[in-house]
Amino acid sequence: MSVLGAPMIGVMCLCFAAIVLPAVGKHLAFVAVPIGVLCFIPLIICRLSFIPIPDAVYPKWARPIRHADEQSVKDADAWLRAHRQRHP
């Protein structure tokens, strides 16, 4: 979430701020609304954990962290399965 979601929330906040400006908000809405909608789509996709996000979307520094997190989840699942088999 923090790699993709937080920047999208920031951009959407800037779009909202541009729309509510008193004098030019109506004119900026023609630009800010499509940008806000385009930022909302990745925000929703990164919040839905069952949709796999490809590695190309993540920055290079975040890829090893993502793989380590995935491996730790697999290890925890394997430990839990083994624990359940020993203690039915």
Identify the residue whose tokens are 């839905």.
48
Domain boundaries, the chain: 1-53, 58-88
DSSP class of residue 51 equals S
What is the percent of the chain with per-residue pLDDT over 90, rounded to a whole number? 12
Give the separation between CA 62 and CA 57, rounded to whole angstroms.
10
Q: What is the pLDDT of residues 3-45, one digit of tens each?
A: 667 788 888 888 888 888 888 888 888 888 898 888 888 788 7
Helix axes 5-19, 25-47, angle to 10 degrees: 160
Is 77's pLDDT higher than 80?
Answer: yes
